[in-house]
Amino acid sequence: MGTGFTIDTPLRIAKYGISSVISLVDDALIEQMRKFHCEKASQPYEEITDQNDDARALRITAYLNLMDCLITLQVEALQASPFEPGSQITRYFKLLPASPLKKAYHDMLETTDPQEKEQLQKPLRGQAVPGSIDVNIMTKLNRDLYRNDEKLPPEFADAMAALRGFANSTLKSSIIFSAGMNPHLYSYIAQFDDFFPDENGFLKKKVILKVSDYRSAIIQGKFLAKRGIWVSEYRIESGLNCGGHAFPTKGELMGPILEEFKQKKTELIETLYPIYIKTLLDCDRTTVDKPGPVRITVQGGIGTAQEAELLLRYYNVDGTGWCTPFLLVPEVANVDEEHLEKLAIATEQDVCLSDASPLGILYWNLLDSSSERARISRIRNGKPGASCPKKYAVTNTEFTKIPICTASHAYQKRKLEHLPSEGFSDVQLAVVKENILAKACICHELGGSVKIMHNIEPDATSTICCGPGIVDFSKIASLEEMVGHIYGRLSLLTNPQRPHMFIRELKIYIDNLRKEIEKYSLELSTRTPKYFQEVKENLLKGIEHYRCLANEFTKEIHTKFLSELKTLHDELEDILLTEMTKPCTLPPTS
């Protein structure tokens, strides 16, 4: 998703019933895109400038309202279009998977009587509804806002203002909170009526939590329920087999996590509902006589229709999310031509789980992006670090009173000058320096592609945060082709060696464990031997779970899956805690 890849994706695909997510990180980019789409659609535009203390919230509200308005017009036009080859409504129904609605469409097509056909078309038009225009807030990106070096009240911080911008919009959709719990932000939700049920029990705006495990889900769910907020969806994402920022668990793998949700979904709902109702009553809010719907969904590394079907059937999830493959669908995602070609030929050596994020969180990175080339060029020219034009990721106060970004030149210059006094050995110093220099200006450059494509900033540099699964696809595809791949009507896979999504995740975890041990051996980690043992034990439990799961596969997949599982099991067993005292091989510094 980044900040720019899906910033206007709803305008492209929502009319076809496909839901997508807009990041609310970069309100400057959002304002540029509002101007672009107002001009394109001949809509009035009045700039919301930085001089307004509430510019961020106002920009977000205005942009989301524009999306809502334009997509409403698109859907009306689609519903009124004729049922004939090449029309928008025909495309809508052709994209659908096998379903009662798709059958009703085919029944209409097979009807020969003109009057009867027209009668069958009327309900179909009404059921051609748009996908949801959802938004995302990364909860930890909650930079305080300053005016004349004075900090503004908490409600003007980035995440709070973004929430307010969504809450005040006309959308009937969901906000997705990712990267963990933010108590102040979560408490702030209760100030907006749209998150509470109306007299019919309808939630105009819903909450989706992106969670790593069941424990996280119930802790966050309780916190919100105590404030009268119902969580409508728990979106489970693989800790490491994903795109963008990665949040590794202590070795808990996707399969066992999904199994726990499968076993405890009813318990989750029954635990939260009484807390929720009590709060609604205490606050004199409209109550509901039964729990609202709760969806359990999953995303991260899904690559085939068979994998998606397994998740839906065996783990009883309510939906699956796909992102990285859509970077190769120009109709859906904003990827400029240069990087589209790079993604199409990317190999495992071109995509890295890196230290590029200034937030200090692991980050999947395309190594041949223009952002990476610019970063390396600045280092070679003796001026490492970026100019930090937007400052959304400012978190460090090591050298300044007002936080600055660790990817900025202002920070890296000071930090590199200070390093010799910190008592590192030569080997430690090389690793620490490498980590400092790895930081990239992602909050700005994740919007590079869309600015190039729309001629907003033709010479912008781009960072591409694709997941490791991008190496399985090399075809620049149409929407029909990618949807067909997802529903099993065709295959776009071009990597014959592609492992199952669970196998890839396990391998990434083992690789990451090895790197963590190397850092520990250099005394550059806060991890303990107990932590490493816990990770290893959880991975072994996951492997045992997958041995049983293999019985769900066809014979061909079953054999390959178990063979790859055994190889990784043996590899994990070879990673003994004694390795933490061995010297490691260091990467060359940039």
Please check whether residues 330 and 389 belong to one and the same domain: yes
Please check whether residues 366 and 508 belong to one and the same domain: no
Evaluate the CA torsion angle 80, 85, 86, 91 in order and state its sign: positive
CA distance 408 to 404: 7
CA distance 249 to 239: 6
Evaluate the CA torsion angle 264, 266, 270, 275 in order and state its sign: positive
Helix ranges (H only) for 127-246 are 158-167, 183-188, 214-225
Please check whether residues 361 and 468 belong to one and the same domain: yes
Please check whether residues 483 and 503 belong to one and the same domain: no
Please check whether residues 486 and 543 belong to one and the same domain: no
Which domain covers residue 504, as residue numbers?
A: 499-590
Region of 17 please: left (phi>0), alpha (psi -120 to 50) or beta. Answer: left
Q: Residue 180 falls within a domain, yes or no?
A: no
What are the two backbone dihedrals, phi and then psi, of residue 404, each rounded to the nearest 5 degrees? -125, 170
Of 445, 463, 496, which residue constitutes the final position of a domain? 496
Type of residue found at 568: L
Three-class secondary structure of residue 207 per DSSP: strand
pLDDT at 140: 87
Which residues contact residue 262 at a Cβ distance below 8 angstroms, ignoring those fewer than 6 apart? 315, 316
Q: Residue 85 falls within a domain, yes or no?
A: yes
Q: Residue 145 falls within a domain, yes or no?
A: no
Tell me the residue length of the chain. 590
CA distance 51 to 372: 33
pLDDT at 53: 84
Q: Which of 512, 506, 508 is nearest to 565 (CA)?
A: 506
Evaluate the CA torsion angle 175, 176, 179, 182 in order and state its sign: positive
pLDDT at 309: 97
CA distance 205 to 325: 28
Evaluate the CA torsion angle 161, 225, 205, 316 in order and state its sign: positive
Number of compact structural domains in the chain: 3
Please check whether residues 458 and 437 belong to one and the same domain: yes
| Average pLDDT per block of 10 residues along the chain, 590 residues long | 95 98 98 98 97 95 98 98 98 98 98 97 98 96 89 95 98 96 97 97 98 97 98 98 96 98 98 98 96 97 97 98 97 98 98 97 97 97 96 95 96 97 96 98 96 96 97 98 98 96 98 96 95 96 97 92 97 72 46
Please check whether residues 336 and 372 belong to one and the same domain: yes
The single-letter DSSP state of residue 116 is: H
Three-class secondary structure of residue 457 per DSSP: coil
Q: Residue 335 falls within a domain, yes or no?
A: yes
pLDDT at 386: 97
Please check whether residues 437 and 531 belong to one and the same domain: no
| Helix H or strand E encompassing 130 | none
Cα radius of gyration rounded to whole Å, the chain: 25
CA distance 486 to 96: 11
pLDDT at 482: 98
Q: Which of 349, 355, 337, 344 is nearest to 448 (CA)?
A: 337
3 state SS for 48-82: CCCCCCCHHHHHHHHHHHHHHHHHHHHHHHHHHCC
Of 140, 173, 190, which residue constitutes the final position of a domain? 140
Q: Which two tokens stand for residue 180?
A: 């963990």
pLDDT, one tens digit per residue, over 352-410 is 999 999 999 999 999 999 999 999 999 999 999 999 999 999 999 999 999 999 999 99
Q: Which of 2, 59, 50, 142 is nearest to 447 (CA)?
A: 2
Q: Which of 465, 437, 460, 434 is nearest to 449 (CA)?
A: 460
Please check whether residues 125 and 47 belong to one and the same domain: yes
Q: Residue 2 falls within a domain, yes or no?
A: yes
Please check whether residues 418 and 554 belong to one and the same domain: no
Q: Residue 218 falls within a domain, yes or no?
A: no
CB atoms within 10 A of CB 189: 20
| pTM for the predicted model, two decimal places | 0.95
Q: Which of 289, 238, 233 is nearest to 265 (CA)?
A: 233
Q: Cβ(367)–Cβ(352) under 8 Å?
A: yes
pLDDT at 587: 44
Region of 580 please: left (phi>0), alpha (psi -120 to 50) or beta. Answer: alpha
CA distance 160 to 400: 24
Q: Residue 12 falls within a domain, yes or no?
A: yes
pLDDT at 461: 97
Please check whether residues 59 and 4 belong to one and the same domain: yes
By the 10 Å C-beta count (0-12 exposed, 13-18 middle, 19+ buried), 46 is classed as exposed
Q: Which of 244, 212, 255, 246 is nearest to 506 (CA)?
A: 255
Q: Residue 249 falls within a domain, yes or no?
A: no
Of 496, 531, 559, which residue constitutes the final position of a domain? 496
By the 10 Å C-beta count (0-12 exposed, 13-18 middle, 19+ buried), 115 is classed as exposed
CA distance 481 to 491: 8
Please check whether residues 531 and 471 belong to one and the same domain: no
